Each structure stands twice: as C-alpha cells, then as structure tokens.
Amino acid sequence: MSNASNIQKLFNSPLVCVNVGPKLFGEALEKQNVKVVQVDWKPVAGGDKKMQELLNELGGF
C-alpha cells in the first residue's frame, strides 16, 4: 500500500483506538462513539533505566 493511501484508509475507516495512558482520554473518545481498547502502560523493568537500555539493545520494548 502506498504511503498516501495508508492515511486515506484511516480517513475512510471507523476509528478503533488503542489508548495508552490515562483512561480519561479513552473514555472521552468512547463518549464520541469511538471503539477504544486500553493498554495499561507501565515503564518497562519498573523504570530501571539500565535494564531498559539493555532490553532495548536486545530488540526493543
């Protein structure tokens, strides 16, 4: 699919949103009849920076 049509496809499709972060933003979208799924995001490795860097080098998180 060409790059331009990726965006046009979004404009022509019903929105289905993955909400990463505070639920209130997802709830606001749901009130507007957007389908929303929630990701309960937490910092990888409990926020341990060194461990994150290591995991990132091993293939991303």
Partner 1 sequence: MDSLASLSMMTVLMDQEGIQNAYAGMASKTTKNIIAELGLMTAEIEQAREEDLVISARAQSREVFDRALEEIDKIDDQFQGTKFQTFNTIDSAVATVPEANICSISVPGEYACEVTKHALNQGLHCVVFSANVPLEKEREMKELAKQKGLLCMGPDCGVANINGAAFVLSSINNRGPFGIVGASGCGIQHVAAMLHEMGSGVTQTIGTGGKDLTQVVGGISFLMGIDALENNPDTKYIILISRKPDEKVLDKIIQRIKGCKKPVIACLMGADEDKVRTSGAIWAENLDMCGVEALKIIKKEYTFESEALLDQWAEEAVRGMCPEQKYVRGVFAGGTYCDEAMKTMQEVIGGIHSNCPLRPELMLENSYVSVGNTVIDSGEEEFTLGKPHPALDPNVRLPLIEKEGDDPQTAVILLDLILCPPEHIDPAGVTIKAIKAATDKACARGGKIAVVASVLGTDADFQNANLQREELCNAGVYVCKTNRQAAKLAAKIVKLRNGEQNI
Interacting residue ranges for partner 1, rule: CB under 8 A: 1-11, 13-32, 34-41, 43, 56, 60-61
45 three-class SS? helix
Taking the complex as a whole, the smallest distance from the CB of residue 35 to partner 1 amounts, in Å, to: 8
**Which residue, 22 or 54, is less far from partner 1 as judged by CB?**
22
- Nearest distance from C-beta of residue 22 to partner 1, angstroms: 5
- Alpha helices for 1-40 (secondary structure H): 3-11, 23-31
- What gap in Å lies between CA 9 and CA 13, rounded to an integer? 6
Secondary structure element (H or E) that encloses residue 17, with its range? strand 16-20
At closest approach, how far in Å is the CB of 58 from partner 1? 13
